[in-house]
Amino acid sequence: MIAPYRSTAVFDETTLPDALRREHRTKPGVWGVIRVIEGKLRLQFADAGDEQVLTPDQPGLVRPE
């Protein structure tokens, strides 16, 4: 069974940590899910040049590394 091993606090545009505003990576074998509670979030993947707009109905999947 797959289960979350960690969750973060809820952030908004003023409380988002600086580390999440710049390029960073997940650990090997660790997936992430970004859930938007209200509004929209633009998510950019630097390596692939992809960009997604996340909404409450459209979460973002973050692959390992």
pLDDT in tens, the chain (65 residues): 678 888 989 999 999 999 888 888 888 988 999 999 999 999 988 877 789 999 999 999 988 98
How far apart CA 11 and CA 37 sit, in angstroms, is 10
Closest CA to 42 of 55, 52, 57: 52
Domain spans in the chain, listed from the N-terminal domain onward: 27-62
| pTM for the whole structure | 0.80
